[in-house]
Structure 1
Amino acid sequence: MAYETLLFEKTGHKAVITLNRPQALNSFNRAMMRELVEAWAAVKNDGDIWVTILTAVGDKAFCTGIDVRESAAEVAAIGHMERWKDVPGSRVTARQNGCWKPVITAVNGMCAGGGLYFAGDSDITICSENATFFDPHVTYGRVTAVEPVMLTRRIPFGEVMRMSLMGSAWRMNAQRAHQIGLVQEVVPAAKLMETAHAMADVLAELPPLTLAGTVEAIWKGLEMDRQAAMDYGLLVAQRNAFTEDHEEGRRAFAEKRKPQYKNR
């Protein structure tokens, strides 16, 4: 697939989406937001894609959020922000686009502002040793409201508030991000994609409908009360029990062989 702001690769049951605006610190402009919607739709609708790696070109910045130059130009032209049809960044992640296939996010360099959408909505996040995480909104007179809400589901409230209130003056390093659970593993930059692919290879051997069902049940459950979440998870599990892959897994276990899953 050809994109202006992204690279899209598919190998076996893996897809790799790479943010490709290094000259703009991989910030997302309107073109990238539109193309991310298209890319996640492609992942969602392709039965051969079972897991996706999300990363970015370059080692300086993974993503710094919305392209402020583009948004500033629009504000100057129209005098306010009401013309944005959607909140900038509201449809850049798999979860925001209704895609429940597993996502591994590999962060190298700065992950700032709206770039935190990707870390907040990822299933597994890994980063390089030089990665930093921060939210500069308040430094430049903007209320930070969306990214913190996403992060409160992943890291302690106090850490969210420190990041939100201190703006550009404080940056969370990779080691601290790992300590509090924002990322699951920290590796040397040279090993980042190798590690991401090793994880994806494991997932690509597992039943895709089961993986997607697990992702869906857990993420949707976050928006429900405890009992409703458990009830919904049970419904997803029951739905999965009628798939061919569920039966294949049962038979393979009984026959002591490796299962052959077919996404059916």
Structure 2
Amino acid sequence: MSTEFETILLAIDPTDRVATITLNRPDRLNAFNRTMCEEMARAWRTVKLDDSVNAVVLRAAGPRAFSAGLDIKSSYGQPESVWHHEDPGEALSPKWQKMWKPVVCAVQGMCTAGGFYFVNEADVVICSSDATFFDSHVSTGLVSALEPIGLRRRIGLAETLRIALMGNDERVGADTALRIGLVSEVVAADRLWARAHDIAVTIAAKPAAATQGTVKAIWESLDKPYRAALDQGLIYTRLGNPLGTAQLAARPPVNGSTTVAPRIR
């Protein structure tokens, strides 16, 4: 099943229980405008409420860029009062939209500035060998604040500050991204989408109550003191474990099935 949008593509395959969202403005390096932000919020809500979806792949069209961030050639249309300005990341983020289904993000080409919004709150991030990550804000006289706050939770303070302060003058390549934990796997460009889909299918095959509860517990723990996070996590295990084990037990047996060895990374 596919759903029509102007700036993105959304396809849902109930067979493998994976939804695929594709940023689809390759002529603008997949930069986001207000329309894309609104459509991303709609897409997250759609997959959130669709019980046939257990995992999501987030990817981008065209070989040149995953996302160049905010499209500076079109007005985002902020309210006149500065106190009413919006953070576009709230619409782009699955976690802001309270969508707890696991998200696998596949990055190719360039990812800069607001493109980090997508990366920062994905659950699994992989990239192609030609991917480059950088933050252009300070090079254009802009404060780099929102995206690095999310980035710091993925790669730590030192690497975040280096990326934010070096601006256009340093590009983080795929190997460095892997080393610092920005991505968890690097693959050839022609295998990127297939590999992201394989990871999502593997996750989607697990009981949804278990995977969504895991995502929710881990991400919410980042905003809490350690002991408070453990206390809340314990509550989530009490709530989710009976649901997840019941989902597993309700699955029909597969005749002639074989055990697949875990993949060693």
Q: So what's the TM-score if we normalise by structure 1?
A: 0.89
Greater shift, 157-166 or 217-226, is seen at 157-166
Q: Which runs of 5+ in 2 are unaligned?
A: 258-265
1:44 corresponds in structure 2 to: 48
1:21 corresponds in structure 2 to: 25
Q: Which runs of 5+ in 1 are unaligned?
A: 259-264
C-alpha distance 170-213 of structure 1, shift in aligned 2 (>3 A): same
Contact 2:210 2:241 in 1 (8 A): no
Counterpart-to-counterpart distance in 2, 1:116 and 1:19: 14
Contact 2:155 2:182 in 1 (8 A): yes
Deviation at 1:246, TM superposition (A): 1.3
Deviation at 1:85, TM superposition (A): 3.9
Counterpart-to-counterpart distance in 1, 2:122 and 2:247: 29
Instruction: Report whether the alignment pairs 1:34 with 2:38.
Output: yes
* RMSD (CA atoms): 2.0
Alignment of structure 1 residues 1-264 onto 2, 5 Å: 1-12=3-14, 13-71=17-75, 82=82, 85-243=85-243, 245-249=244-248
C-alpha distance 246-171 of structure 1, shift in aligned 2 (>3 A): same
Question: What SS does the aligned partner of 1:54 have?
Answer: strand
Q: Deviations over 1:88-137 (max 9, x none)?
A: 23220211211000000000111100101111111000000010000000
Greater shift, 172-181 or 88-97, is seen at 88-97
Counterpart-to-counterpart distance in 2, 1:234 and 1:83: 38
Contact 2:207 2:247 in 1 (8 A): no
Counterpart-to-counterpart distance in 1, 2:61 and 2:250: 43
Greater shift, 91-100 or 27-36, is seen at 91-100
Identity of matched residues, %:
40
Contact 1:112 1:134 in 2 (8 A): yes
C-alpha distance 83-68 of structure 1, shift in aligned 2 (>3 A): farther
The number of equivalent residue pairs is 249
Question: What SS does the aligned partner of 1:241 have?
Answer: helix
Question: What SS does the aligned partner of 1:91 have?
Answer: helix
Q: So what's the TM-score if we normalise by structure 2?
A: 0.89
Deviation at 1:160, TM superposition (A): 0.7
Question: What SS does the aligned partner of 1:206 have?
Answer: coil
Greater shift, 191-200 or 98-107, is seen at 191-200
1:261 corresponds in structure 2 to: none
Large movers: runs of 4+ above 4 Å: none
